[in-house]
Amino acid sequence: MKLPIYQVDAFASNPFEGNPAAVCPLDEWLTDDLMQQIAMENNLSETAFFVEQDEGYRLRWFTPTTEVDLCGHATLASAHVLFEHLNYDQKTIRFDSNSGELNVQEEDDRLVMNFPTAQLNKAETPSFLEKAVGISANELYRDTDYLYVVDNEEQVRSLDPDIRALAKADVRGIIVTAPSDEYDFVSRFFAPAAGVDEDPVTGSAHTMLTPYWSKRLDRETLVGRQVSKRGGTVYCHHKESRVEIAGETCTVMQGEFSI
C-alpha cells in the first residue's frame, strides 16, 4: 500500500524554520497501531492524518510515541496541504478533532486557526519542577500543560532544563515564557512525556500563552516568538473563549509512504 505524504514547515516563511510536521491524507482510517508506527518512522514531533467526512475532515495527530488531543502546527500543516496540494477551494476548512471543531482559513500569506482557549488555573510550583527547569517561576498555571512564567527573555533563551526530570510532570508539557522587547512575549515548550523533548514551535501552547499575555499586556492582538533552535513567529488574537493562532507555512517534501 502506498500513501501520499507531505512534510510542511509550519510557522515558517522559509524552509528549515518553524516546526516540521508530516501530513498523511487518507481515504479511510488505518488502524491506530499502523498510524502510530508511521508517526514513529517519520520521527517528527507530529504526524497528522485526516479523512474527509460530512462538510469537513476528521483530523488526528500522533507524536512518535502517542496520540495527542490537540496540535497546532500539524493542523496548520494539514490545512496547507489541502489548500496548496489538494485543490480545496473554500475559504475555511472545518476539522473535527478530539478537541472539538477547529477551523482554519486563509488570510493573505497566513493561515489562521481558531482554537478553544485553555484554562489558566493558578498552581503552586512543585519542587521537582523548579529544579528541573533550573530557574524559579514568578507564576505557574495549569491546564493540559504547565505555563511557567519567568522574568526575562534571556532566561528563556538560555534555558537548559533537565529533560528527564521534566518527564515526571503529570501534564502534556511545560511552556516557559517571558516578556520580550522585540515581540510581545517569547516561549519554549518541552514535552518529553509525549515523546518530544523540545518542540520547535507549538501552536496549541498559544491557547494558554494568548489569554495570559492578553490579560497581562491588556491587548487582544499579540505576536509571540518561540525561541527554539529553529524558531518561529506566531500571530495571536484573544477572543474570549477562542484563540486565533496564525502563521505562515511551506512544503519542503512530497512523496509516498510504502507499507
pLDDT at position 13, please? 87
pLDDT at position 21, please? 96
pLDDT at position 102, please? 92
Which of 115, 111, 24 has its CA nearest to residue 76?
Answer: 111
Catalytic annotation on 52? no
Does 171 lie in the same domain as 100?
no
Q: How far apart are CA 144 and CA 216, in angstroms?
A: 21
Does 150 lie in the same domain as 100?
no
pLDDT at position 196, please? 87
Does 196 lie in the same domain as 146?
yes
Domain that holds residue 75: 2-116+246-258
Does 234 lie in the same domain as 184?
yes
pLDDT at position 149, please? 98
Does 99 lie in the same domain as 7?
yes
- The DSSP line for 125-178 is PPHHHHHHHSS--SEEEESSSEEEE-S-HHHHHT----HHHHTTSSSS-EEEEE
Which of 121, 120, 130 has its CA nearest to residue 161?
Answer: 130
Does 155 lie in the same domain as 125?
yes
Q: What percent of the chain has pLDDT over 90?
A: 91
Q: Which CA distances in Å does 146 have to 124, 156, 204, 216?
A: 11, 15, 12, 17
Does 129 lie in the same domain as 164?
yes
Does 193 lie in the same domain as 215?
yes
pLDDT at 103 over 90: yes
Report yes or no: 93 and 82 within 8 Å, Cβ to Cβ.
yes
Q: Which CA distances in Å does 122 have to 12, 73, 149, 188?
A: 32, 26, 11, 20
Q: How many domains does the chain have?
A: 2
Cα three-residue angle 7-9-13, rounded to 5 degrees: 145
pLDDT at position 201, please? 93
Burial class (CB in 10 A: 0-12, 13-18, 19+), 127: exposed
Does 72 lie in the same domain as 9?
yes
The H-or-E segment that residue 197 falls in is strand 196-199
Q: Which CA distances in Å does 45 have to 7, 8, 143, 227?
A: 12, 12, 21, 16
Q: What percent of the chain has pLDDT over 70?
A: 100
Q: How far apart are CA 222 and CA 235, in angstroms?
A: 6
Give the mean pLDDT of the chain.
95
pLDDT in tens, 39-72: 999 999 899 999 999 889 999 999 999 999 989 9
Does 153 lie in the same domain as 128?
yes
Q: Locate cell 524559579: which residue?
A: 136
pLDDT at position 194, please? 84
User: What average pLDDT score do residues 249-255 get?
Assistant: 96
User: What average pLDDT score do residues 109-129 get?
Assistant: 94
pLDDT at position 118, please? 95
Provide the 10 A C-beta neighbour count for residue 241: 8
Report yes or no: 200 and 20 within 8 Å, Cβ to Cβ.
yes
CA 222 to chain centre: 17
Does 199 lie in the same domain as 224?
yes
pLDDT at 195 over 90: no
Does 84 lie in the same domain as 28?
yes
Half-sphere exposure of residue 121: CA atoms within 13 angstroms, side-chain side: 7
Which is the catalytic residue, given 17, 46, 198, 244? 46
